[in-house]
Chains A and B, each alone.
Chain A
Amino acid sequence: MEETRPVKIQVRSLSKVFGKQPKKALELRNQGLNRSDILEKTGQTLGLSNISFDVFEGELLVIMGLSGSGKSTLIRCLNRLIDTTEGEIIIDGENIPTLGEKALLECRRRHFSMVFQNFALFPHRTVRQNAEFGLEIRGVDKVERQKTAQTALTQVGLDGWEEAYPNQLSGGMQQRVGLARALANDSSVLLMDEAFSALDPLIRKDMQQELIQLQSKMQKTTVFITHDLDEALNIGDRIVLLKDGEIVQIGTPEEILTKPADDYVRRFIEGVDRSRILTAESAMRPVRTTARDSDGPRTALHRMRDHSIDSIYVTDRDRRLIGLLEAEMASSAIEAKSETITNHLTQDFRKVPPEEPLHNLFAMFSDKSFPIAVVDEQQRLLGVVVKGAVLDELARAGEQ
């Protein structure tokens, strides 16, 4: 399915050596020596080795790795802030490593906008002038670039801050300016180099959320660098996992989590602090009342009235969940002179295991407002989650 999507950037057997005799280092690598051997023998660092991957049109690709994995080098090779040693990077038919000086400038202007870890805003320019920078470089006329910059600033929620200087803004707002500068440029690819890593956790989550929203609206091809697995899993359509300058695994977040390529990835996933991941259990409330399958419709309706609810979960004698009874259905059962409720149950509700991640529950509330049932492996009803509780729990987690 993915393979049919148009490819925006093709990276093929890309390598980068930091040192004076890169050919020699690559020769040694081809003989099968590893990074530290090459460093010892030649004093040169093999920054990236034989990297190949595609970036699909409109996807958010996360390149993730620990420090020293080569991820910052890799993103800088894409727009050639760092020259590559060998390999191809093809964007719209152009091979970036072989472009002449003029063509390279043109290519950077047309294709790439970059957001930096430490914002890299120009301190002598106002917020608006910062947002205009890319357009100004391209020679767009003043009226038009002001308009475009304003739109971008509105998109990131910086209305009213146009005339401020970067040092008057908080870190989160500064990075919004960085993002606006990139968006205003309207290039075909967005490069984000640890864009949220310098922000505190709360603001970081917000920014991730906003990026996801922007992304769903704009479908901009984005390459996002991070060292944080949580972040990668949260925002990435696909993840490229780097280790010591080589690719360990490429896949969707689910694939990385469920089918780790090797022990390194497995250890990485285990490294995720599980206590910080919120589950359905943490937001679950005990069920105030349930109906039994042996109850008649009148009894069930009576219980609903007592607790002012308009639907009730129905269990069997082992507390196994068998269905949901709505108040209307109970009334019609009474009218139909039915003695039992089992024929009037609906299965149109959601049930989740207690370890279900909390953010998954959000989507489930959209259709009907029944509380979500939390059941164990034996289908026993453990509790329910109502919409407000999810929000509460997320907010409280944010405060910590």
Chain B
Amino acid sequence: MDIPRIPLGTWIENGLNWLTSEYSLVTRGIARFTQTGINSLNDGLMWLPEWALMAMIALLCWKVASLRLAIGAVAGLALIWNLGLWDPMIETLTLVVIATFVAVLIALPVGIAAALSERLYRLIMPMLDFMQTMPAFVYLIPAIPFFGIGSVSAIFATVIFSMPPAIRFTTLGIRQVPVELIEAADAYGATRRQKLFKVQLPLSLPTVMAGINQTIMLALSMVVIAAMIGADGLGSEVWRAIQRLRPGDGFEAGIAVVILAMLLDRLTQSLRKTRR
């Protein structure tokens, strides 16, 4: 007896094809808009002389975190500059910044809604599990028919892959506000809105920041992988090194990624700690 194979893949493909043809106008629009954003941020950052950007980053590190981090940042960035990886580094940074921005923009309202509604919570949590455990490469495939080869597709895949922690941590942060504080707000006649903005959100801020930190880290790992679909940056340096079997180049680009990751991580973490 033969059990026919379930044509799951065909269904998904049909669905994606339908989406692509029906909404091509929308996706093209988004692609153009996003590409403009990427280009202007890229151009802006590259227009600045290397030393000027380094100085600004160092100042930011010093103000937000510590002198130690500022010194570390200068040393790391100087190494990247010296290795000739400055421009790819800027391209990667741009992708991370834009992808994180979009991810957080979606994640915050969704996370808040999931925290306040039990039904939405039950609906969203399995979706997040799906988004996080699906191998990251798989997102790259449908991204191409939607947005074409290049950075926009990379951002699309990155947003989907990196959004879950921001949603999860926002929901968690709001849910773990002590009941007695909610009770106190209620007792004084606070509306839902007042409760959210005066009590729940301020108290969940440290947790939300931890989620954003996670999102940035995931975004960085994804934009490197996204080199496979033509995203510029440090990822494409690694990709090229693989194709030409040049481990030295590969490690150089890899080390640049590590430096960028550490810098972003320390910076966002200290941002979280300076808040009360």
Contacts and interface: CB of A to CB of B under 8 A. Distances in A.
Given A116-B180, A118-B180, A123 B188 contact: no
Contact of A165 (B185, B188, B202, B276): B276
B198 A136 contact: yes
Contacts of B191: 105
B199 interface: yes
Nearest to B205: A124
A81 B189 contact: no
Contact of B187 (A112, A118, A123, A138): A112
Given A112-B187, A120-B183, A137 B202 contact: no
Interface in B186-224: 186-191, 194, 198-199, 202-203
B181 interface: yes
A137 B190 contact: yes
B183 A109 contact: no
Contacts of A79: 187
A138 B198 CA distance: 13
Contacts of A133: 184-185, 188, 198
Given A137-B194, A165-B276, A122 B181 contact: yes
B202 A124 contact: yes
B71 to A, nearest CB: 32
A152 interface: no
B180 A137 contact: no
Contacts of B187: 79, 81, 108, 112-114, 191
The size class of the interface chain A forms with chain B is 20 to 34
A225 to B, nearest CB: 13
A118 B181 CA distance: 10
A152 to B, nearest CB: 14
A236 interface: no
A296 B273 CA distance: 85
Given A122-B199, A123-B203, A124-B276, A114 B189 contact: no
Interface in A191-208: 191
Contacts of A85: none
A109 B276 CA distance: 29
Contacts of A165: 276
Nearest to A117: B180
Contacts of A109: 188-189
B188 A113 contact: yes
A134 interface: yes
Nearest to A76: B183
Interface of B: 178, 180-181, 183-191, 194, 198-199, 202-203, 276
